[in-house]
Each structure stands twice: as structure tokens, then as C-alpha cells.
Amino acid sequence: MEGSLSPQQAAELLGTAGIPPAQGDGTLTGEPVLIFMQVPTAEGAGYAYVYLSSQGVVLARAAEHVGGSPDPDEASWSELFDHMQTEVVSVRDAAGTPVFAVSHKKVLKSEVTVADAHGRTMGTMRQRNILGRVRFSIEAAGHDYGSFVAATTQMLGFDVRDPADNVVGRLVKVGQLYGVRSPMGLGHAKVPACFVLQLFQRPPLPLLTAAMPIVLDLSMNLDSVTSRATKRGPTA
């Protein structure tokens, strides 16, 4: 299956991240350790991801919506611009049942809305700064639910913090977040996303926590949202 890992491969990846395996209940919100990987897709098809347990079992899959652009002859300039600045990724469990969706919009800083399977907003995540150790706030129904903050300026790892600023988990990027130097010195090439999320306790809003790897991959991408939008055509 595309994007799956053998138990040995999963163990090796966790070893690289420095996170030990942990057994949960086999669901996306019931695993204390999640592996999140980008899955290759056809040109113009948008991003696709897979969530795995620490044993390499597929828990959920995510896919970006492409196509459905507003009619340029009828839509206003602001509607067209807003569409090009926004990315939507839907997550389904291993059986294909919708779980949640992430809507990411970025001009200078990212703002993300997470909605449940029925389209109801569950919470928002906002990038609070650009320079230094990047921080994202987590809010729901007007309440503060903590944050995730870059452990270093290289942003290869993030601390998950509760509202009292206690570290309750961590999110480790396996490889470089911004990309690596391509052969022949021709600029930088993006490394496919691969994160490991470790939670020290069950979060109050587990689906928002599960969305964090998607948020980071879209927010910290080399290419702007608008640039990515122009490379994608409608799906069949």
C-alpha cells in the first residue's frame, strides 16, 4: 500500500527522530506516537499524506483539494485572490470515513481553520511570528488551548505546549524542513514531509493536535501558496 511502512521501517524512522515507539488504541486520536508522511502524487494533483502508528499501521490518509476555482468571468478579484491563497486538505480514517479538514491561508503568516467531518469549525491555529523560533497558537471557541513552538530557529522540531506553557508533546521533522541543496548546486529542493508526533498526555482537542503536521508542512513550504496554486489543475 502506498505510504505504508513495515514495523522495521517504522522503528528505524522513530530511531532517527529519537522517539521510542508507543502502543495506543489504533485510532488517529488514540495513539501517543504518530508518524506523518507525504505521499508522492501526480503533477498538479496536490499534496497527499498518510498517518501511521509507531508500528507502521495506516491510521488515516489526507489529500489536498484541487480544482473548483471560481469562474474568472464572474468572481471578483478578491475572491480569486483568496482562492489562490488558500489550501484545503481533508483527512479520512483507514476505512475512508471523513475525520476533519484543514483550511490553510497564508499571506505573510499562516492562519489555519480545522473543521470536523460535518464542516463545523473546531478551532484555529495562527502563526504568530516570522523571525526566530516560530510559534503557532491553538484556539477554539475563544479559548486558548496552547501552542506549538519551534525548539530552534532551524525549525526541525517543535514543542507542543499547554495554555500554562508546559511541554506536553513534541513534533520532530525527520530531515530538513526547508529543503536540501539539490545536485549541481541548482538551488534547493523540497524534502517530502515526514514528521513524528509524540504526546506525553492526551490533548483536550486531539484532532487539532493531529492537524499540526499538515499545518507545518503547508506553512513552512518553500513555495508560496499562490505559487503552488498556479501549478495545480482540476482533478477528474
- Using the structure block, give the residue that is written with the C-alpha cell 480544482: 67
Quote the number of domains for the chain.
1
- pLDDT top residue among 109 and 187: 109
Q: Does residue 159 lie in a domain region?
A: yes
In a domain, 86, yes or no: yes
pLDDT tens string 42-91: 666 788 999 999 999 999 999 998 765 545 555 444 444 444 567 899 99
pLDDT tens column, 94-140: 999 999 999 999 888 999 999 999 999 999 999 999 888 999 999 99
Domain-embedded: residue 236: no
Evaluate if residue 203 carries a pLDDT over 80. Answer: yes
Q: Quote the CA–CA distance of 110 and 112 in Å, as a whole number.
A: 7
User: pLDDT tens digits for 11-44?
Assistant: 999 999 999 999 999 999 999 999 999 887 766 6
Please state, in angstroms and rounded to a whole number, the distance separating the CA atoms of residues 104 and 116.
15
Q: What is the torsional sign of CA 163, 168, 169, 170? A: positive
More confident residue, 191 or 83: 191
On whether residue 92 sits in a domain, the answer given is yes
Residue 152: which pLDDT band, with cuts at 50, 70 and 90?
Answer: confident
CB neighbours (10 Å) of residue 23?
Answer: 11
Flag whether 134 is in a domain: yes
Q: Is 122 exposed, middle or buried (0-12, 13-18, 19+ CB in 10 A)?
A: middle
Q: Which residue has the cell 511502512?
A: 5
2 assigned to some structural domain: no
Which residues, in sequence order, are bridge partners of residue 39?
A: 48
Beta strand ranges found along 121-166 (DSSP E):
121-127, 135-140, 143-150, 157-161
Range of the domain at 119: 7-223
Alpha-carbon distance of 206 to 122, in angstroms, equals 11
Give me the pLDDT at residue 150, please. Answer: 92
Are 23 and 34 in contact, with CB atoms under 8 Å apart? no
Cα atoms found within 13 Å of the Cα of residue 198, Cβ hemisphere only: 16
Query: Is residue 145 included in any domain, yes or no?
Result: yes
Quote the cell numbers at residue 231: 501549478
Residue 179 has pLDDT above 50, yes or no: no
- What is the value of pTM for the model shown? 0.82
Percent of the chain with pLDDT over 70: 75
So what's the pLDDT on residue 226?
A: 52
